[in-house]
């Protein structure tokens, strides 16, 4: 069963942190689904990822396109990911069911540390994963770099 990693974003916005995590995932040869809850928010994220630095091209697509199966990174908002992901990154409160972790290398929960509701939601997710017997790690960037703060 894959582990679930929680990333508590306190120093930079999602649009700044996500490309770094995606780059590391692609270096490992993983196919990634970025799972959100709102199609409009995913469209805005898609546009932000395309505006990234030229020398840091991040191949990705928005679910519903003709080449979904070939996308190394696929942005979804409720629709099933057609790219056979080995990693799912949930954002904006999206869920990954504990049984979805079984075939994955990793599940990631990215949440805004400045949003009390997002923090409370992530705490509930942590509890549900741990109660289901999943391996979980909590990463914080409070010190200015990512540090492992808790592991179950």
Give the domain range for residue 42: 3-151
Which CATH number goes with the domain that contains 38? 3.40.50.10110
122: tokens are: 């992530």
Q: What is the pTM of this model?
A: 0.95
Task: Say how far apart CA 33 and CA 72 lie, in whole Å.
Answer: 8
Count, residues in the chain = 152
Which residues face 43 on adjacent strands? none
pLDDT tens, residue order, the chain (152 aa):
679 999 999 998 999 899 999 999 999 999 999 999 999 999 999 999 988 766 678 899 999 999 999 999 999 998 889 999 999 999 999 999 999 999 999 999 999 999 999 999 999 999 999 999 999 999 999 888 999 999 99
Alpha-carbon span 88 to 33, nearest angstrom: 5
How many domains does one find in the chain?
1
């Amino acid at each position: 069963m894959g582990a679930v990693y929680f990333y508590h974003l306190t120093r930079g916005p999602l649009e700044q942190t996500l490309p770094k995590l995606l780059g590391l995932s692609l270096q490992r040869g993983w196919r990634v689904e970025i799972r959100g809850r709102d199609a409009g928010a995913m469209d805005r994220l898609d546009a932000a990822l395309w505006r990234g630095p030229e020398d840091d091209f991040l191949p990705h697509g928005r679910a519903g396109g003709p080449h979904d199966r070939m996308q190394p990174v696929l942005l979804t908002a409720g629709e099933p990911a057609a790219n056979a992901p080995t990693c799912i990154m949930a954002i904006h409160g999206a869920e990954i069911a504990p049984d979805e972790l079984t075939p994955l290398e990793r599940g990631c929960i990215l949440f805004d540390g400045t949003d009390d509701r997002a923090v409370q939601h992530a705490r509930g997710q942590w509890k549900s994963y741990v109660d289901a017997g999943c391996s979980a790690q909590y990463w914080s960037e409070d010190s200015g770099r990512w540090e492992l703060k808790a592991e179950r």
